[in-house]
Structure 1
Amino acid sequence: MGVKGTRQYNPAWHIALDLPHQLVVSECIARAALGREESRGGHTRDDFAKMSPEWRQVNLICYAEGNGVRVEKQALPTIPQELVTLFDSSELSKYMTQAELDSIAQGTA
């Protein structure tokens, strides 16, 4: 890849420098999306069309390693009851299964 001109006020120069990092981020997004076997919020999959309570309990963390990306699961803490009450239940239903909402309502989450 080449860039004409000088570094001063040259957007192409900055794009050229950013591109390798953008490729790493793109690979992280794609690998995490493939690894997450459910649909929730803005993340939807035809092959895993429903939300899964198990996936609510983890985040996928990406690490750049050498020429590739490593994806690991990391456990999430349970949402405290005092925070849950701040949200409208119809909004929570977009991101939580009915079983999760029921356990929150019963105080067992």
Structure 2
Amino acid sequence: MPLTPCRGPPTSTAREAAGVAYSDSQIGRAIERIPGVSSPRRSGPALASIVLDDRWARLEDGAFVVVDAERDVKPFATDPAREARLWEATTELLNAAERAGA
């Protein structure tokens, strides 16, 4: 049975079936040691800075920040019409899932 990336019964079942003895938190701590992989300890202060610091107060819709620097985005990333279509599609998918009892 393959391991799944989600938490809960599917992951537990897969671990038990494979006879593997590790926890989700152990896996998370191991993954955090990989260079370039974020952790709550590192990303939490960065997110708080973007939300609270005056340095970022001028940012508007479509702004993209990586760690502590604003990055340029392609024009389609700030297209209001495209954003509206994505929200409509999201609403349709959520409504369909609700009707299906998911």
TM range (shorter): 0.3 to 0.5
Q: What is the TM-score when the length of structure 1 is the normalising length?
A: 0.33
Q: What is the TM-score when the length of structure 2 is the normalising length?
A: 0.35
Q: Normalized per residue, which structure has more strand?
A: 1
Q: Normalized per residue, which structure has more helix?
A: 2
Q: Which has the higher contact order (CA 8 A, sep 6+)?
A: 1
